Structure 1
Amino acid sequence: MHPPLIERRQFLLTGGLALLAAGAPAYARSGPTARTTPFTLGVASGDPVPDGFVLWTRLATDPLASDGQGGLFAPARVLWEVAEDETMRRVVRTGQAVADARFAHSIHVEVDGLKPDRPYWYRFTSLGHQSDIGQARTAPAPNARVERLTLGMATCAHWELGYFAAYRHLAAERPDLVLFLGDYIYEYSYRGDRAKGRTVRAHDRQDDVVDLAGYRNRYALYKTDPDLQALHAVAPCLMTWDDHEVQNDYSNQWSQDPEVSTEAFLRRRAAAYRAFYEHMPLRPRSRPHGPDMRIYDRLRYGDLAEFLVLDGRQYRSIQPCPTPTWRGGHVVPETCPEMTDPSRTMLGARQERWLYDGFKRADARWTVMVQDLLVAPINQTGKDGQEGHFTDGWDGYQANRGRMLDALAASRAPNPVFLGGDIHSFWATDLKTDFRKDGAPAVASEFVAAAISQEGPPKGAFDKVQARNPHVRYVDLETNGYASLTLTREAIETRFQAISDRKDPAATVRGLQRFAVEAGRPGVQLA
């Protein structure tokens, strides 16, 4: 039960933290201050529901301190405020949280008691400093009629290979919700000859991050970027992960390197998942337990959309047909039997059951799968000239893909659309239960966003891709950028937005291509 609004305003007017000092521990009563602002990593909101959302920040006066603690050691009280106006004069919720070293002085505040489907503004105060003001938004009531929703899709942001101008342009569009679709950070670094002419700015360290301090500092570095901070400050977000939040091409408990034991890799995964939680606006229920952390979830946006957020990394079977020296992704021919083995899974048995049940229960206008990969099968060419399918994506888990699309078709979930990333290029595809049958109808549509700043796919991998893969309606392999979607009751309009140069911090943006998916008519139409 929330105290009356007048009491909350009185709390603010009479000094906030001081009123609670009598029952507070010594560190709160002493009122420590920091020489520099502890809000160097910005603010964020996420997981909007009809009566609230999650607020996040992490205190760090020295974000890249070598121990990963951000320059702080003692616990610190953080005052949070939520207001109905951007000047923060009409405060309607406020409270306190304790940021301590256990979770790198991050806080995850679950705000409730708000009105549905409206914007709110928020800020934090701690150690004598105040954060910037962020904007969040509550979701509509579960069955409220909703006419319009705007989304942004972002994926594959590599600090060393480019600036984050795409984030700035997406922030300027002020979407209702931002979807982060994996590779929010990159765990490896370019160095030596490999880096010459390719990098535009350096990572915080030039070796791969493998421990908790390393992952914390990698997130901290990325979150110092003003364009990323701006995007988080204008809209709530949903997020999933791909591989680079842990290690390139990992699968479940298996490193891409066969010489790394599962025990050693799970220790690394535990550190990576913990740092992911510490730096994202996730609810405390998502807090990891060792190397395990549930992120798959659902979000409803009135009667207009239901989002099913998937985890394509944590539960998957080991990648098919590995070599003696490499467990990561590579192109293999159709003769690889493991690609079609029905005992293998991308999502894990429990998540599969949850997803198929979600298909059956879906009754919003649009059913939107938020995940990290290209779902459509792609016949491509490997580095050695061999034709086949890439093992790290859905093509390596064809039986699971078939089960998923069959379950989707049988459920008659309304207007299904898959969103993804990972492949560093723009894609629009029709998804079918039988890709080998000429003229088979689409059962869902798919849009994949290009990389924010990572390099594009290898040259030659997708030569004549549309001729070899007729379900591909559009592909652009050269461009960086993001995707913007507008959902209405009649259609989803998708815009692929291209930035002029990922190596230019002042890069401009242009519309690359528009698409439409009409309600009741699966399949992508070029607009």
Structure 2
Amino acid sequence: MPTARHAKQALSRRQLLVRSAATVALAGLGGLAKPYLSRAADRPLITSGIASGDASANSAVIWARADRPARMQVECSTVESFRTIIRTASARALPDSDFTSKLLLEGLPPGKDIFYRVRFEDIADAGISGEAQVGHFRTAPLVQQSVSFVWSGDTAGQGWGIDPGRGGMRTYATMRENRPDFFIHCGDHIYADCPIEAELKLPDGSLWRNLVTEDKSVVAKTIAQFRGNYKYNLLDENLRAFNAEVPMLAQWDDHEVTNDWSPIGTADETGYTEDGTSRLVARAARAFHEFMPIRELPAQAGRIYRKISYGPLLDVFLLDMRSYRDSTWNRHGDGNDACILGSIQLAWLKRELAASDVTWKVIAADMPIGLVSEDGIALGDGPPDRRECEIADLLSHMKRAGIRNTVWLTADMHYTAAHRYDPNRAVFQEFEAFWEFVSGPLHAGTWAPAPLDNTFGPAVAFQKGCSAEQGENLAPCFGLQFFGRVDIDGESEVMTVTLKDVDNRDLWSVDIEPRPDARPARILSQQF
């Protein structure tokens, strides 16, 4: 249940959205999108809203995009009136980054609502600046208190883009109504390989009418087209309002590049660089980092896997199951070495999990563990093989090290589910029982549930997707769009996971009590 703090926070954030509704410019998004007409044409504009990300106890990333070369100016305050400014910072928005700009705000007070104000100044004349937009995030606490967050994935897939007549990307509006402390996007922010057409016919004969842009009308190959995919999504007012209100923890999966991509073996006609890197992947990665409010890690530029600490109750471990995987299909009998995390990331995860002294350790994964897929991890019934071996190694390490209270969150499958992994049902048994929760899509086609294998003993506690009668790739307007919500109580430390739909209905929930020892967390209750 929401705490009094969350109720008070919800009121403040609602006021924020009313008082600081974003002025949105659509310039530079293709000839088919109507441009924003400014009365002060010489002033740089914010084109795609503002966003924050990777919020910790004393810092957060701020992001925005200008319509020309400019300097982003950011002010932040702990009061909505900005009566007192506690931090200022600036960064350039230049053509090399498609006029996107992001910076790390540091030295912030922990456990506080932070209001930030963004405007762009002319790159040559600081006296010329555009209109400001206001956003909000909350820094992580240093003391034990309740935490709430949401997660999902899969946006603008299978040709289902922004239909303004159907309310646009409605799941973002629903998630915003939940007033979470932050949002984990588990990947497929865009579908670079799925062009958006003007109209799609629905089963009842009616039409889905997409907003279209030039760059989103083709499969992305150039850096401009990859960037255009992100700019297309930011045409949606629900997404812009959500970004201004809720900090994001961003991962990626395959459709940020192309379907089922791997580091080697994925390229277009431009091929590979001298070091064997795919030029297509490099362009996609560049656009991802330009448009995501993600921390830059100086030691490993472009790295996506990382840990975000959110107070004494929670650490979030964000994985990258794309950049370090093997480059073959995941099939039994293939003698090649196989991996999904890679040795360096796997060693990092083991080390960071062992070092974590918080109550709950959430592992945010691109893909689920036990759903059979040639592109994923699970191969079908039997002992661990190929990519499953890395997971077996990780799970057995967690048991030996006494790493307790872990929960896996993921998306990718275009339906929602709760899976309980139990060694008593498993072929491989050297691990402690744990939960895996799947949710999505945010705004894409919905699919039917997939089969599980018995390698790690998963069982379905709940699942919901499209039925055989509805068919595959069910349009978002049929209501089967999903996200998950996690609440951790500040006093009892109980974690409540709730699977929800686009209309904010609670589909299923479970209360999980943490354990002070290495035994698995105890299930207190489940609700349908």
Share of identical aligned residues, percent? 25
TM superposition shift of 1:286:
6.6
Contact 1:249 1:256 survives alignment (8 Å)? no
Match of 1:236 among 218, 234, 247: 247
Question: Which runs of 5 or more residues in structure 1 are unaligned?
Answer: 1-32, 61-71, 322-331, 379-388, 500-507
Match of 1:472 among 444, 447, 460: 460
- The CA deviation string for residues 319-372 of structure 1, in whole angstroms up to 9 with x for no partner, is 335xxxxxxxxxx6xxx223xx69321011100100111121121000111121
- The CA deviation string for residues 138-163 of structure 1, in whole angstroms up to 9 with x for no partner, is 1223xx3x131000112001164153
Once residues 406 and 513 of structure 2 are traced to their aligned partners in structure 1, the CA distance between those partners, rounded to angstroms, is 11
Matched, 1:457 2:451: no
Match of 1:358 among 340, 349, 352: 352
Contact 2:396 2:431 survives alignment (8 Å)? no
Cα 1:439–1:209 shift into 2, 3 Å: closer
Once residues 351 and 337 of structure 2 are traced to their aligned partners in structure 1, the CA distance between those partners, rounded to angstroms, is 20
Cα 1:281–1:193 shift into 2, 3 Å: closer
Structure 1 length normalisation: TM-score? 0.76
Residue 220 (structure 2) aligns with: 209
Once residues 241 and 413 of structure 2 are traced to their aligned partners in structure 1, the CA distance between those partners, rounded to angstroms, is 25
Cα 1:283–1:337 shift into 2, 3 Å: same
TM superposition shift of 1:191:
7.0
Contact 1:156 1:452 survives alignment (8 Å)? yes
- The CA deviation string for residues 57-102 of structure 1, in whole angstroms up to 9 with x for no partner, is 1113xxxxxxxxxxx3xx3122211011122222111132221111
Matched, 1:154 2:152: yes
Residue 508 (structure 2) aligns with: 513
1:417-428 aligned within 5 A: 417-428=407-418
Contact 1:151 1:485 survives alignment (8 Å)? yes
Contact 2:155 2:188 survives alignment (8 Å)? yes
Residue 403 (structure 2) aligns with: 413
Once residues 197 and 118 of structure 2 are traced to their aligned partners in structure 1, the CA distance between those partners, rounded to angstroms, is 42
Q: Secondary structure at the match of 2:71?
A: strand
Structure 2 length normalisation: TM-score? 0.76
TM superposition shift of 1:250:
0.5
Residue 318 (structure 2) aligns with: 309
Residue 28 (structure 1) aligns with: none
Question: Which runs of 5 or more residues in structure 2 are unaligned?
Answer: 1-39, 122-128, 162-167, 380-386, 467-479
- The CA deviation string for residues 457-494 of structure 1, in whole angstroms up to 9 with x for no partner, is 25x855x999x975222111132121111012432111
Residue 327 (structure 2) aligns with: 318
Cα 1:196–1:78 shift into 2, 3 Å: same
Match of 2:294 among 282, 298, 306: 282
Once residues 428 and 337 of structure 2 are traced to their aligned partners in structure 1, the CA distance between those partners, rounded to angstroms, is 28
Letter in 2 for 1:484: R
Contact 1:405 1:433 survives alignment (8 Å)? no
Matched, 1:297 2:306: yes
Residue 266 (structure 2) aligns with: 255
Contact 1:445 1:522 survives alignment (8 Å)? no
Contact 2:419 2:437 survives alignment (8 Å)? yes
Letter in 2 for 1:409: K
Contact 1:86 1:133 survives alignment (8 Å)? no
Q: Secondary structure at the match of 1:515?
A: strand
Residue 333 (structure 2) aligns with: 337
Once residues 191 and 300 of structure 1 are traced to their aligned partners in structure 2, the CA distance between those partners, rounded to angstroms, is 37
Residue 121 (structure 1) aligns with: 115
TM superposition shift of 1:209:
0.4
Once residues 422 and 249 of structure 2 are traced to their aligned partners in structure 1, the CA distance between those partners, rounded to angstroms, is 27
Matched, 1:390 2:373: yes
Q: Secondary structure at the match of 2:191?
A: coil
Contact 1:409 1:443 survives alignment (8 Å)? no
Matched, 1:39 2:53: no
Residue 12 (structure 1) aligns with: none
1:181-220 aligned within 5 A: 181-190=186-195, 195-197=200-202, 199-204=208-213, 205-220=216-231
Contact 1:425 1:456 survives alignment (8 Å)? yes
Letter in 2 for 1:278: E
TM superposition shift of 1:115:
0.9
Once residues 296 and 131 of structure 1 are traced to their aligned partners in structure 2, the CA distance between those partners, rounded to angstroms, is 32
Contact 2:226 2:283 survives alignment (8 Å)? yes
Residue 179 (structure 1) aligns with: 184
TM superposition shift of 1:265:
7.2
Once residues 388 and 320 of structure 2 are traced to their aligned partners in structure 1, the CA distance between those partners, rounded to angstroms, is 17
| Count of matched residue pairs | 439
- The CA deviation string for residues 418-466 of structure 1, in whole angstroms up to 9 with x for no partner, is 11010011111123457535999853211111201221225x855x999
Cα 1:514–1:342 shift into 2, 3 Å: farther
1:49-88 aligned within 5 A: 49-60=56-67, 72=68, 75-88=69-82
TM superposition shift of 1:168:
0.4
Q: Secondary structure at the match of 1:250?
A: coil
Cα 1:217–1:152 shift into 2, 3 Å: same
